[in-house]
Amino acid sequence: MTEVSSLTGRLLVATPALADPNFDRAVVLLLDHDEKGSLGVVLNRPTPVGVGDVLEGWAELAGEPGVVFQGGPVSLDSALGVAVIPGDSTERAPLGWRRVHGAIGLVDLEAPPELLAAALGSLRIFAGYSGWGPGQLEDELADGAWYVVESEPGDVSSPVPENLWRAVLRRQRSELAMIATYPDDPSLN
């Protein structure tokens, strides 16, 4: 088996050619990626369900728009919390938060919210996640289904998540920036 270079903490940006409706113009933050597989959450799929409707204690800490996001098609009845803790990345991580990459980490939603309240810069709650088995994501990358780009802490808390696909592509310093102008329906062009 070939060695897998970890993409943990990076973004997968769906190419216009990706045909899976679960990932149409999706921006996925990879929370874990190794030889055993990959796990991430779609950052730009808000649902109409308020965080307070499912996790009342976390509602005040959730960033705008204050709704649960659909993290992907796997285990939609489970919840993941992703938060940004501002400050020096060498500082000790607060109790109830596990660093994924830089200032981005996973929140233990079983912990009392007040443990993290003072430290949180932003929080998003995701129903479900996106998952790939061993080698599956690498195959999709080889097929051209995803662009892999660096994440920024602000991606987790984008105030207009519906525009994140274009915004992430637009900030790239390569030909990827032009993909941001790709029409929603090329047949109407």
Reported as a single tens digit per residue, the pLDDT across 19-72 is 899 999 999 999 999 999 999 999 999 999 999 999 999 999 998 999 999 999
In tens, the pLDDT along 93-144 reads 888 999 999 999 999 999 999 989 989 888 999 999 999 999 999 999 999 9
pLDDT at position 182 is: 75
CB 9 within 8 A of CB 62: no
Q: Which DSSP state fits 25?
A: T
- For 47, phi then psi, to 5°, come to -110, 170
Nearest CA to 148 out of 22, 38, 3 is that of 38
User: What is the band of 3 on the pLDDT scale with cuts at 50, 70, 90?
Assistant: very low
**Average pLDDT for residues 13-24, to the nearest whole number?**
91
- pLDDT confidence bin for 179, thresholds 50/70/90: confident
User: Is residue 169 very low, low, confident or very high in pLDDT (cuts 50, 70, 90)?
Assistant: very high
Long-range contacts of 101-106 (CB under 8 A, 24+ apart): 101/8, 101/9, 101/10, 101/151, 102/9, 102/151, 102/153, 103/153, 104/9, 104/29, 104/151, 104/153, 104/156, 106/31, 106/80, 106/81, 106/82
What pLDDT, on a 0 to 100 scale, did the predictor assign at position 188? 54
Q: 128 near 73, Cβ under 8 Å?
A: yes
The DSSP bridge partners found for residue 85 are none
Q: Cα-flanking dihedrals φ and ψ of residue 30, to 5°? A: -80, 120
Please tell me the pTM assigned to this model: 0.91
